[in-house]
């Protein structure tokens, strides 16, 4: 029967050395370079080189521990980013929770999304600023890009077009279009101007496109709820091809 240490030893053919180091640190918590070298049957010098690269990439961090006897020893552990290299199921849990809320009472889901928008608006308020709507839209695009949405602003007839080339909640939004509608409401609140959805990634477009109405221009006939509840109308093929 295999010992506990043998069960924890990664299989020789499993991934690169650095992946095997990450796995051992995930299993054990903290390990020194000599200990890792022994577990992987490699030299301590070689292990230190791999650890240096993992530190550079922000996946592990070192701390010095002073034993009762002997010299201080550096031990390594995973950072939050290192932990994220292992499987996670956040999307699945969030989807189930939101679907449950909507199934119990759609109004409850709406209350949750409104509460979330309040929190987001408060955190973005000092960042989405500007004397003009154009300036505020550019600032919003920058904030969204920092959040991973790869956003940019384009000129459009009667206003601006806020484009997001990535959706960080795509799997959730594809099943719960309420998320897209809620985001549009947040944009209106932050920009102080009417907006309307032209396309969403969740509905098969290559990017999310939100039209922002400039002052003095009538709001477009499309609306958030309609466009998020059905595939985007093929009225802007150029926008899709540009993504």
All structural domains of the chain: 4-83 (1.10.10.10), 90-242 (3.90.1520)
Q: Per-10-residue mean pLDDT for the chain, 243 residues long?
A: 45 65 90 94 93 94 82 90 82 84 87 93 92 96 94 94 93 89 96 95 94 75 41 37 37
Tokens at residue 217, please?
A: 């221009």
Q: For residues 99 and 155, give the distance between their C-alpha atoms in angstroms, rounded to a whole number.
A: 36
Q: For residues 158 and 209, give the distance between their C-alpha atoms in angstroms, rounded to a whole number.
A: 15
pLDDT at 12: 43
pLDDT at 237: 36
pLDDT at 217: 65
At 164-223, the pLDDT tens digits run 999 988 888 888 889 999 999 999 999 999 999 999 999 999 999 999 998 876 554 444
pLDDT at 241: 35
Report the side by side order of strands in the sheet with 73-78.
31-32, 73-78, 60-65
Q: For residues 170 and 44, give the distance between their C-alpha atoms in angstroms, rounded to a whole number.
A: 44
Q: For residues 185 and 114, give the distance between their C-alpha atoms in angstroms, rounded to a whole number.
A: 9
Other Cβ atoms within 10 Å of 70 Cβ, number? 7
- With CA atoms as reference, report the closest residue to 163 among 187, 182, 179, 181: 187
Tokens at residue 149, please?
A: 């949405």
């Amino acid at each position: 029967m295999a010992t506990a240490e043998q069960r924890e030893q990664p299989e020789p053919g499993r991934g690169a050395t650095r992946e095997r180091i990450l796995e051992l640190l995930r299993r054990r918590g903290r390990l020194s370079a000599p200990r890792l070298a022994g577990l992987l049957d490699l030299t301590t010098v070689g292990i230190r080189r791999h650890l240096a690269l993992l530190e550079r990439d922000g996946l592990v961090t070192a701390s010095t521990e002073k034993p009762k006897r002997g010299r201080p020893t550096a031990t390594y552990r995973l950072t939050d980013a290192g932990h994220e290299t292992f499987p996670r199921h956040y999307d699945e849990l969030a989807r189930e929770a939101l679907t449950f809320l909507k199934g119990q009472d759609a109004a409850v889901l709406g209350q949750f999304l409104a509460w979330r928008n309040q929190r987001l608006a408060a955190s973005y308020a000092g960042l989405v600023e500007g004397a003009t709507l154009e300036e505020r839209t550019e600032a919003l695009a920058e904030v969204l890009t920092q959040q991973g949405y790869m956003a940019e602003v384009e000129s459009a007839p009667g206003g601006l077009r806020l484009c997001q080339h990535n959706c960080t909640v795509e799997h959730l939004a594809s099943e719960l279009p309420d998320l897209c509608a809620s985001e549009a409401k947040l944009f209106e609140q932050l920009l102080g101007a009417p907006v309307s959805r032209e396309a969403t990634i969740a509905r098969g477009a290559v990017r999310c496109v939100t039209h922002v109405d400039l002052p003095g221009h009538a709001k477009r006939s499309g609306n958030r709820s309609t466009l998020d509840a059905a595939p985007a109308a093929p009225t802007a093929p150029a926008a899709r091809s540009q993504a």
